[in-house]
Amino acid sequence: MTTFEDTYQFFVVVGNNERRVNPLAADIVFDDVPDGKVDYRRELNTNLTFVEEDFQFFWAAYQSVGICSRHELRIYHESVLRFECILAASSANWTSRDGAVTFTPINVEDNDCLEENLRTEKNIFNFPALGPLRVLIGEPSQVVTCTRTTSGNFPESLIHLASDPPTGCLPDNIGWTVTRRTLDKTVETDIFGQTTVTVVDTAEFQREEFTSNLQPPGEGWVQLGGGLWARQLFTGAVQDSRVDISVGNPYTYQEQRVFSIFGQDEANLPDNGVLLVDILEGLVADCGLDIVSNFLGINPAPPYVNNTAYRAAKNYKEVVIFQKTDILLADAAENATKGEISLEDFFEFLEGLQIYRRVRGNTLRLEHISWFEVNGLDVSAHPDIEDCTDFTNNPEDFPRREEFEWMDQQRDLDFDGVPIVYDRYCATGDPRPIKVSKVSTNIADMQANPDRYANQGFAAVATTIYQGERYILQGPPINGPTALLNAPFAWSVIQRDLYQNNRPLPEGTMNNQFTEFETVEPYKEQEPLVLSMTIPEYFAFDPSRRVNSQLGWGKVSKCSFSSFAARLSLNLKHDE
End-to-end CA distance of the chain: 44
For residue 180, is pLDDT > 70?
yes
Of 35-44, 235-244, 261-270, where does the model show the most confidence?
Answer: 35-44
Confidence at residue 394, expressed as pLDDT on a 0 to 100 scale: 74
The mean per-residue pLDDT over the stretch 429-436 comes to 94
Confidence at residue 425, expressed as pLDDT on a 0 to 100 scale: 87
Longest dimension (CA), the chain: 118
Are the beta carbons of 371 and 518 closer than 8 angstroms? no
pLDDT (tens digit, 9 = 90+) per residue, 319-342?
999 999 999 988 788 899 999 999
Are the beta carbons of 46 and 28 closer than 8 angstroms? yes
Are the beta carbons of 24 and 1 closer than 8 angstroms? yes
The mean per-residue pLDDT over the stretch 512-533 comes to 95
Secondary structure tally for the chain: helices H, strands E: 10, 43
d(CA 465, CA 443): 19
In sequence order, the β-bridge partners of residue 2 are 25
d(CA 34, CA 501): 19
Q: What are phi and psi of 31, to 5 degrees?
A: -115, 140
Confidence at residue 395, expressed as pLDDT on a 0 to 100 scale: 65
d(CA 295, CA 316): 7
Whole-number percent of the chain with pLDDT over 90: 76
Are the beta carbons of 229 and 216 closer than 8 angstroms? yes
Confidence of residue 305 (pLDDT cuts 50, 70, 90): very high
